[in-house]
Amino acid sequence: LHRVDRRQRQMCIRDRVRASTESYEISSTLNGTDDWIIRLDANGKVIKQAVFNAPGRVRFSDILESSDGAIYLTGNNWDTKEALLLKLNSNLEKEWEISYKPSGVTERYDFKKLVIWNEKLYVSAIQWKTSGSSSSYDSPYLHEVNIENGAISNHIALPSIPGIKLDNFKNLFVDSSNNLVLAGIADPEIPNESIPGMDGGAFILRINAEIETVNSWNNVGGFKHINVGSAIELSNGHIAIVGQSVMGGEPAISIIDTSGREHRSYQGSDNFYGSSNLSANTINGFYGLFKDSGQYSYPYPMQLIEFNVNAIPISTKYLLKEGGYLSEAGIITVSYTHLTLPTIYSV
């Protein structure tokens, strides 16, 4: 973990970590790669950990802790192609584990993101499709989860956005007005066959408790986003969404105001966006974590950029590990005074 101190004073964190391990020191019954859940104390020391044997591949893709200390994990079962949902108590002991696939679905089905909304637990899902020898996302869904036993509801009928077909909504969160925000990638209802896969774009859909549209936005056909990695609410209620640009791996960022209109955008150059999250600051701006592939040679340093309310970079800091390779994993905001940067280090 790298910490960037913005007020030059010591801060501590308490959090849970979703990770994986290939070490027999961590998992005596290691099966290739095992899922590893860690709870840290206020000083960043491990106080509890749990390892779950996976069939050679990481299963979990999201983690959520509820107010009672319970932890929920989503993912997929690679063997059965079913979605996976698991609940741990505050001691990281398993309470239940559910595998799920809707009746009649033969393709792979994954659970992606978790959110607690109006005291209920919801999970987003993606159904895959196979064309020849390749697989890709087909249709996204939203389910309600019974927290007592893990029972999964039928998918919830969501409002449509005219002119586009939703491909996935891997971002799912509740905004400051208690609307549920879904964000991801969409395709035109009638794709352009001359540029297959290039005419999609990002979308945002806000819905209220009655599952009605509050507002929506998309840039499908605008050749800006080829994928979406993160979407967050800023301190002024606007939403910032980031992904890779159509032209390459450079970051493409759009800021959407509270009425659903695009406020500003940013297109990176000579830098690379992987999949890390954005993090809001206190002045209606945000932080993004990238790789600088222009100024420096390999191994490219991580590049932490602070943006203002208009998506204009106002400061940049670099992190470089000599003799090894740092891969960005995300940003954790601690009381708006520090940023902690989880990283993956390899030599």
Give the pLDDT confidence of 9-54 residue by residue, as tens digits.
Answer: 233 334 777 777 777 777 777 777 777 888 877 777 888 888 877 6
Amino acid at 177: S
What's the rounded Cα separation, in Å, for the pair 11 and 320? 23
**Residue 55, pLDDT score:** 61
What's the rounded Cα separation, in Å, for the pair 60 and 51? 12
If one counts every other C-beta atom within 10 angstroms of the C-beta of residue 235, the result is 15
| Cβ-based burial of 132 (10 A; exposed 0-12, middle 13-18, buried ≥19) | exposed
Q: Tell me if 181 sits within 8 A of 205, measured CB to CB.
A: yes
DSSP assignment of 99-154: EE--TT--S-EEEEEEEEETTEEEEEEEEEEEETTEEEEEEEEEEEE-TTT--BPP
Mean pLDDT of the chain: 83
Q: Tell me if 83 sits within 8 A of 97, measured CB to CB.
A: no
Res. 341 pLDDT band, cuts 50 70 90: low
List the beta bridge partners of residue 110.
126
Give the pLDDT confidence of 287-300 residue by residue, as tens digits.
Answer: 999 988 776 666 67
48-51 — which CB contacts under 8 Å span 24+ positions? 48/91, 48/92, 49/92, 50/88, 50/92, 50/93, 50/94, 51/21, 51/26, 51/27
Give the mean model confidence (pLDDT) for residues 314-332.
68
Res. 84 pLDDT band, cuts 50 70 90: very high
pTM exceeds 0.75: yes
**Residue 12, pLDDT score:** 33
Q: What percent of the chain has pLDDT over 90?
A: 49
What's the rounded Cα separation, in Å, for the pair 133 and 1? 39
> 238, 295, 306: which is closest to 269 by C-alpha?
295
Distance of CA 126 to the CA centre of its chain: 14
Q: Sheet harboring 239-244: ordered strands across?
A: 230-233, 239-244, 251-256, 262-267
